[in-house]
Chain A
Amino acid sequence: MAAEPRQKPELIEREAEFSTISGHPIEPLYTAADAPADPAATIGDPGEYPFTRGPYPSMYRGRLWTMRQFAGFGTVEETNERFHYLLDQGQTGLSTAFDMPTLMGYDSDHPRSLGEVGREGVAVDSLDDMEALFAGIPLGGVTTSMTINAPAAIALAFYVLVGERQGVSAEKLGGTIQTDILKEYIAQKEWCFPIEPAMRLVTDMIEWCSEQMPRWHPISISGYHIREAGSTAQQELAFTLKDGFTYVEAALERGLDVDDFAPRLSFFFNAHVDFFEEIAKYRAARRIWAREMRDTYGAKREESMRLRFHAQTAGVSLTAQQPLNNVVRTSLEALAAVLGGTQSLHTNSFDEALALPTEDAVRVALRTQQIIALESGVTNTADPLGGSWFVERLTDEMESAAYAYFARIEELGGMVEAIRQNFPQREIADASFAYQQELNERRRIVVGVNDLVQSDEGETPILRIDPGLEQKQLDRLQATRARRNPAAVESALTELRRAAASEENLMPSILVAARALATEGEMIAAMQEVFGTYAESPVF
């Protein structure tokens, strides 16, 4: 891309690493020589193929991003209160964090759930819990995001039935469920089944939603957790898009038309602290997705090529030391996501390296987005950074790095096979260790951690989860078990096992079991009888 080697003037430079946080080298200066050869083809205008400059022509002049703070702790009652609080503070969409037992398919009264119920999210065992979680929130009037993967089909069934109880049909429900199981095996590590049956469930959901839930995103293909596990920006981009292509291929193999399901695929990226690298990552993601969807997968509709994403600021960038500094980190990260063209955003709270956030900390995080949206002026024009020599060059380099990874993954036999061989897991572990070494050697600085340390730090008030909430959830679960018809539950679970052993779509059987008040743990256990479980051989 650079036409000829530029003449570098004699530069006086500080002793420092001039590279991104991912280790990507940065030149002292970018000039017109770094401009893309064919800007009309590779950049275009916002809202036009290949969408490098953004998915929509008017971007934030048309509509601001959705401010969506992830929340969940304790029982459904505490979380429902937090949801109402966030909506009252001007939040525009809901986002549910489930607790670890729920994410792993264990009911709250399972022995493995002890001590974990309601700790890192909200416990949802049955349809009753999901209904109480959204009490007083008309599902026709909000969009909801649910961060759950291995048991996603069950959570979706619960949500659809809550809508039904409220009189809102499935076709009117808007929102996103994460469902991205490949990144679980790669990074987040909350699984229930081996990879193949897990992929089948994902495909079942994509198929079912393409018929029943036109406003719903059945999957949010996620780089967030890959990055949090210690990957570079390049790895996050490459592994996420490759996961996405793998889901597309699975749906095509199922016989679906790409233009029927692709418009409902959505993405979720990290917003890390290296400002320009992140912006380049989002721009490259849109361009690669558009090209591959059109040229490799035969998409005809623009909606199928238009990558839209949610972003969350980087939890991993937060420090336990001098935690108020995290407000600044989060602001920079959020600004990168906005200048990179995000459709929705979660900003972390400054106390999250210590515990789940307090209400005060969450409010500052939400206000951070509101200040960017309403005061900073960056929303006045679409893609204000488009055409920056540096940004365009970095975008091109991001793209090349992603394609280099695609080629390596293809050599291994595709993403599923690469995961089996621990390839992405090892790449992430290596990157994460290399970064830690840079911190140890102070080649990279984190303020307050390995430089500018302050010894007399005050106490930061943190959210304590009342241990009594675990018992409260156990009581709720017991009440649900007591009031249901055991014969109906048993026959629904038998039917679910039968469906799991067949090739039919599992969503209808899951809906029947959910309606009979079968718990999540019971449904997962029934499917595990057919599918088996998963264990990894970890690499470090």
Chain B
Amino acid sequence: MTEAATARKIRVVVAKPGLDGHDRGAKIIARALRDAGMEVIYTGLHQTPAQIAETVIQEDADAVGLSILSGAHMTLVPRVVELLAEQGVDDVLVTVGGTIPAEDIPELKKLGVAEVFTPGAGTEEIVEFIRAGARERHERDGQHP
């Protein structure tokens, strides 16, 4: 399951934007990604969109997973995407997890969110999605075979 030693390790930021403290999901995902051989940077709780964008850029992440259970996703997710775009970052895979009503998902995807994982999503499904997306990014970069 782990990445071949020759390939660059997939780097993922798992982030908790907003004020809610529900970190069970974020921690499970962070651990599942780490166990799958990825480099995981977990931001911890109560992060502002600016702090998250900065972490993604500093860590040169392939993907960022935003975990939100506070109902503030329609305010916070667009802000993260905007801040990344403002700094010229348009190739990071942005995913969202949490209690996101079905009718908000198309709008989030229109903003550039690659996938939204709602309660009950399996960790394997999430790991595979991030792996595939990050591989594509690596290939586009042309840095890695």
Binding site for B on A (CB under 8 A): 100-101, 103-104, 106, 112-116, 119-120, 184, 187-190, 228-230, 316, 319-321, 353-356, 429, 432-433, 436, 439-440, 446, 448-450, 459, 462, 464-465, 467, 535-538, 540
User: Are A112 and B30 also in contact (CB < 8 A) when A355-B99, A538-B23 are?
Assistant: no
> A115, A320, A538: which contacts B42 (Cβ < 8 A)?
A538
Residue of B nearest to A116 (CB): B72
Interface contact A540-B119, CB-CB below 8 Å: no
User: Are A112 and B48 also in contact (CB < 8 A) when A433-B31, A440-B122, A450-B122 are?
Assistant: yes
The distance in angstroms between the C-alpha atoms of A190 and B16, with both chains bound, is: 13
User: Are A433 and B27 also in contact (CB < 8 A) when A188-B21, A538-B45 are?
Assistant: yes
> A354, A433, A536: which contacts B44 (Cβ < 8 A)?
A536
Interface contact B102-A230, CB-CB below 8 Å: no
Interface contact A320-B118, CB-CB below 8 Å: yes
Interface contact A353-B70, CB-CB below 8 Å: no
Given contacts A100-B19, A189-B46, A229-B24, 10 further A-B contacts (CB under 8 A): A104-B19, A106-B19, A119-B72, A120-B71, A189-B23, A319-B120, A433-B28, A446-B120, A538-B42, A540-B27
Chain B interface mostly: loop
The distance in angstroms between the C-alpha atoms of A100 and B118, with both chains bound, is: 21
> Does B83 interact with chain A (Cβ within 8 Å)?
no
Residue of A nearest to B34 (CB): A540
Interface contact A536-B24, CB-CB below 8 Å: no
Interface contact B71-A355, CB-CB below 8 Å: yes
Interface contact A119-B21, CB-CB below 8 Å: no
Taking the closest CB of chain B, its distance from the CB of A507, in whole angstroms, is: 26
- Taking CB atoms, residues of chain B closer than 8 Å to A104 are 19, 46
> A103, A120, A449, A538: which contacts B120 (Cβ < 8 A)?
A449
The distance in angstroms between the C-alpha atoms of A207 and B45, with both chains bound, is: 32
| A–B Cβ pairs within 8 angstroms, 26 of them | A100-B70, A101-B19, A103-B19, A104-B19, A112-B48, A115-B74, A115-B75, A188-B21, A229-B23, A229-B24, A230-B24, A320-B119, A433-B28, A433-B32, A439-B122, A440-B122, A440-B124, A449-B120, A459-B102, A465-B71, A536-B45, A538-B23, A538-B42, A538-B44, A540-B27, A540-B42
User: Are A432 and B27 also in contact (CB < 8 A) when A119-B71, A356-B71, A538-B42 are?
Assistant: yes
* Interface residues in B, total, Cβ within 8 A: 34
The distance in angstroms between the C-alpha atoms of A462 and B26, with both chains bound, is: 24
Taking the closest CB of chain B, its distance from the CB of A104, in whole angstroms, is: 5
- Taking CB atoms, residues of chain A closer than 8 Å to B23 are 189, 229, 538
Taking the closest CB of chain B, its distance from the CB of A355, in whole angstroms, is: 6
Binding site for A on B (CB under 8 A): 18-24, 26-28, 30-32, 34, 42, 44-46, 48, 70-72, 74-76, 99, 101-102, 118-120, 122-124
- Taking CB atoms, residues of chain A closer than 8 Å to B18 are 100, 115-116
- Taking CB atoms, residues of chain B closer than 8 Å to A189 are 21, 23, 45-46
Interface contact B122-A354, CB-CB below 8 Å: no
- Taking CB atoms, residues of chain A closer than 8 Å to B20 are 100, 116, 120
Residue of A nearest to B18 (CB): A116
The distance in angstroms between the C-alpha atoms of A119 and B28, with both chains bound, is: 25
- Taking CB atoms, residues of chain B closer than 8 Å to A537 are 44
The distance in angstroms between the C-alpha atoms of A100 and B46, with both chains bound, is: 10
Among A188, A433, A439, A440, chain B packs the most CB atoms within 10 A around the CB of A433
Taking the closest CB of chain A, its distance from the CB of B92, in whole angstroms, is: 21
- Taking CB atoms, residues of chain A closer than 8 Å to B21 are 184, 187-190
> A120, A320, A436, A439: which contacts B70 (Cβ < 8 A)?
A120
Residue of B nearest to A229 (CB): B24
- Taking CB atoms, residues of chain B closer than 8 Å to A436 are 28, 32, 123
- Taking CB atoms, residues of chain A closer than 8 Å to B32 are 433, 436
The distance in angstroms between the C-alpha atoms of A537 and B46, with both chains bound, is: 12
Taking the closest CB of chain A, its distance from the CB of B15, in whole angstroms, is: 11
Interface contact B24-A535, CB-CB below 8 Å: no
Interface contact A432-B28, CB-CB below 8 Å: yes
The distance in angstroms between the C-alpha atoms of A320 and B121, with both chains bound, is: 10
- Taking CB atoms, residues of chain A closer than 8 Å to B101 are 354-355, 462, 464
Among A189, A190, A356, A535, chain B packs the most CB atoms within 10 A around the CB of A189
Taking the closest CB of chain B, its distance from the CB of A427, in whole angstroms, is: 13
The distance in angstroms between the C-alpha atoms of A316 and B102, with both chains bound, is: 19
The distance in angstroms between the C-alpha atoms of A319 and B121, with both chains bound, is: 11
Interface contact B70-A319, CB-CB below 8 Å: no
> B34, B44, B76, B120: which contacts A115 (Cβ < 8 A)?
B76
- Taking CB atoms, residues of chain A closer than 8 Å to B74 are 115, 467
- Taking CB atoms, residues of chain A closer than 8 Å to B45 are 189, 536, 538
